[in-house]
Structure 1
Amino acid sequence: MWQRCKTLIVAVFALIFSQQALADNAWDSYKSRFLMPDGRIIDTGNKSVSHTEGQGFAMMMAVVNDDQVSFDKMWNWTRKTLKNPENGLFYWRYNPVEAQPITDKNNATDGDTFIAWALLKAGTKWQNQDYLNQSDAITKALIAHNVVRFAGYQVMLPGAKGFNLNSYVNLNPSYFIFPAWQDFANRSHLMVWKDLISDGQKLLGKMHFGNPQLPSDWVSLYSDGRTVPAKQWPARFSYDAIRVPLYVSWFNRSSPELQVYKNWWGRFARDKTPAWVNVTTGDPAPYMMNGGLLAVRDLMLQSASVEQPQIMAQDDYYSASLKMLVSLSVR
């Protein structure tokens, strides 16, 4: 009997320590899979291109994991390769196999925001004034080139070009990164960040579309204040909008806005939850959530179990990134 108990105790401790090792090694696993020696993060689900989103995500992960060497490597590559000297923001996409790796000179404000946010966190953590100065320069450029007042709301456009169509603007609600905006407000004391937070929350409340009552990945805001799923993209709550509840929760774990996501995902068993849904027709994806998508669902419905990310072999860049971001949001 004692031998069996002893074996059981050893097994329990082995499981505990192995789970802790997986948690401790999540960043190492992420780096080994997606960080190139030159500091470039590759999107393995998208032909190994790179984009500012991935650079910003991973820079934030490096700060939280106290990895300044990796942070500097990623920041140096991003600054040297993607920075647009004309406006102080960053070209959003880099394709290494093309003769001209940067064909689209536009920025993506979620990537710019995460880069600036990571620099702010890094400057504070490692007492580096240059990081702080760089963060301030990016946030100033974001305000100058991407923040507009439209239909009575302060909004951040997804990019500097192509999203203000006069009678309406196209918005991506997954670019409403409330916890970053709050940190920028705390540092700068500028009202623009507080207005973005307040108006962003109001706009999300107007993006409960169709039977699912969820936002679509892309939303048009008209000059009369109406919001509708943007006609240029499928009307889906999908791989972009999955980040909306993540950022809302990161900013305020008790936000009433989270209830619509709990209601939707609560309709399904965990392994039978559709990966996306068309908010106009109600048609669900023909395949189920997995990986990082489930991590966000778990954050809403099983928050006690999401603190230890496990990067699996089948996780591509985006799935692994969502798992890591969910973990960061509850630290």
Structure 2
Amino acid sequence: MVLRTLSAVVVMTALLFTSLAQADTAWESYKARFLMPDGRIVDTGNGNVSHTEGQGYAMLMAVANNDRPAFDKLWQWTNGHLKNKETGLFYWRYNPVAPDPIADKNNASDGDALIAWALLKAQQRWQDSSYGTASDAITQALIKYTVIEFAGYRVMLPGQNGFDLNTRVNLNPSYFIFPAWQDFARRSYLKVWQELLRDGQTLVGKMAWGEAQLPTDWVALSADGSLSPAQEWPPRVSYDAIRIPLYIRWQNAQSPLLQPWRQWWKQFPRQQTPAWINVVNGERAPYNMNAGLLAVRDLTMGESQSEPQITAQDDYYSASLKMLVWMAAKGN
């Protein structure tokens, strides 16, 4: 009996260390592939540019993996190179080979929210109030420059400039980072975050078009409250929209907003799920979901999650989705 018990302990310990090693390997692989020595994340699928989205994603991963040196490196580069000192937000895109690496002075509200969320989680994990102070400053700037009331809804614009078109506003529902907004509400007790959560989820529930009955990447909200695919982009459920069920699931695994996604995806064998669909003409991508998109599909469908493996076939976005799905599944 004693030997049997000892054997069980040895096996369980080995499994535990194997699990930890795999998780550690995923993060180490991610860093090796995408994190530059100066703290910049490169988008290998987009000419090795960097953007606030990638910085925020990696900062969240660093906290989840208890890697404070990597977190500080990421945050210092982001704050030093992308910070707009006039607004307190961040320039959304950095191209290291351009004459002006920050040609577009606009922000991206999802990147700002991801950075602020990672800072808030860093304070909670490492008990350093400076992270929380920095997070609060960003969320206050987001409210000031990107949150408006329009057509009876409280909405967060995708950026400070270019999305409020008077008779309509263009929204990106994949920028509605519900778990971050929920944490900001708990942190600040500000009513605006609860309103964004409520109205954002209401709007997503009304974004249902075409055969798939799903939200497109970009959506126009008109002054009368009606919704339609935004005319400036292809009317596709595609690489942006894939993050909508990820964030819904991350905030509430029981959300009824996941059901339309399940209904659409369950029609297809897993490996034959089209990467996108055009909701106007029904055209489907001539290629199937890659590994990162499939990870979101699996999470949404309620399939069990194992530690991600970052492979040579994964570009920055695919690898990031894999890592984020694992974090969402664990509740990190």
Structure 1 unaligned regions, length at least 5: 1-12
What does residue 99 of structure 1 align with? 99
| C-alpha contact (below 8 Å) 1:168/1:222 kept by paired residues | yes
| C-alpha contact (below 8 Å) 1:63/1:118 kept by paired residues | yes
Deviations 1:14-57 (A, max 9, x none): 99976663333110000000000000000000010000000000
What does residue 310 of structure 1 align with? 309
In 2, the alpha carbon distance for the partners of 1:168 and 1:42 equals: 34
What does residue 188 of structure 1 align with? 188
What does residue 169 of structure 2 align with? 169
Q: What TM-score, normalized by structure 2, do the two folds share?
A: 0.93
SS at match of 1:303: coil
Residue 183 of structure 1 and its aligned partner are, at CA, apart by 0.3
What does residue 126 of structure 1 align with? 126
Residue 303 of structure 1 and its aligned partner are, at CA, apart by 2.6
Q: What TM-score, normalized by structure 1, do the two folds share?
A: 0.94
After superposition, residues 76-115 of structure 1 pair within 5 angstroms as 76-115=76-115
What does residue 300 of structure 1 align with? 300
Deviations 1:185-242 (A, max 9, x none): 0010000000000000100011011111010000000000100000000000000000
SS at match of 2:228: strand
Residue 160 of structure 1 and its aligned partner are, at CA, apart by 0.1
Percent identical residues: 64
| C-alpha contact (below 8 Å) 1:219/1:227 kept by paired residues | yes
| C-alpha contact (below 8 Å) 2:88/2:141 kept by paired residues | yes
SS at match of 1:47: coil
Residue 320 of structure 1 and its aligned partner are, at CA, apart by 0.1
- Structure 1 position 24 matched with structure 2 position 37: no
What does residue 43 of structure 1 align with? 43
In 1, the alpha carbon distance for the partners of 2:19 and 2:194 equals: 39
Structure 2 unaligned regions, length at least 5: 1-12
Deviations 1:153-199 (A, max 9, x none): 00000000000000000000000000000000001000000000000
Paired AA for residue 154 in structure 2? Q
| C-alpha contact (below 8 Å) 1:27/1:65 kept by paired residues | yes
| C-alpha contact (below 8 Å) 2:24/2:65 kept by paired residues | no
Residue 307 of structure 1 and its aligned partner are, at CA, apart by 3.7
| C-alpha contact (below 8 Å) 1:170/1:218 kept by paired residues | yes
- Indicate the RMSD between aligned Cα atoms, in angstroms: 1.4
SS at match of 2:261: helix
SS at match of 2:148: strand
- Structure 1 position 59 matched with structure 2 position 59: yes
Change (3 A) 1:25 1:163: same
| C-alpha contact (below 8 Å) 2:219/2:227 kept by paired residues | yes
In 1, the alpha carbon distance for the partners of 2:18 and 2:288 equals: 28
Residue 290 of structure 1 and its aligned partner are, at CA, apart by 1.4
Q: Which runs of 4+ in 1 moved over 4 A?
A: 13-20
SS at match of 1:330: helix
SS at match of 2:29: helix
